[in-house]
Amino acid sequence: MLLVIAWILVMFLVFFSCLFIMKHLCKLHIPIKWFKDKKSYFQVDSSFQADLEDGFSSNTFDLYQNIENDDARAGLDNLAKEEIYRIMNKYKCDFDDARVIFNQERMKCNSIDPQTGKPTDPRAVFFS
């Protein structure tokens, strides 16, 4: 009985050692559509200086003040920057228009009417 348990432990050790050694062969290679085309890949940096250089600033959304004041925050949200960059390329619009489109899309996803700012849920109750 002890010999069987020892043999099973040795086999597990050999099996997992082989998996560890060959782990680079065991990775799943799932193609991601938007990373195939190098033009559509946009690497984001998380500082206000990089955001300013990438065009994520305007007269109504000024990042220069943050840079001047040595703001220690990380910068703009990376997921939002990627989405706004995609909108800017798709609709050929500037940063302000892309922010408006981005916010309207987020409001629609959260069941909020982008024109009025009121919930579209028929169960919503309003007090005036």
* Mean pLDDT for the stretch of residues 49-78: 78
| CA angle centred on 44, ends 108 and 41, rounded to 5° | 80
Asked if residue 126 belongs to a domain, the reply is no
**Residue 116 maps to a domain:** no
Would you state the pLDDT for residue 49? Answer: 77
Look at residue 85 and tell me if it is in a domain: yes
Predicted model pTM: 0.56
Residue 91 lies inside a defined structural domain of this protein = yes
19 domain-assigned:
no
Q: Is 76 exposed, middle or buried (0-12, 13-18, 19+ CB in 10 A)?
A: buried
74-128 residue pLDDT tens: 777 888 888 998 999 999 999 899 999 999 999 999 999 999 888 998 888 888 7
- Has residue 11 been placed in a domain? no
**Phi-psi sector, 61: left (phi>0), alpha (psi -120 to 50), beta:** beta
pLDDT at residue 3 above 90? no
Boundaries of domain holding 35? 30-109
Six-digit token string for 87:
């909108």
Is 122 contained in some domain?
Answer: no
As for how many domains the chain has, the answer is 1
In a domain, 128, yes or no: no
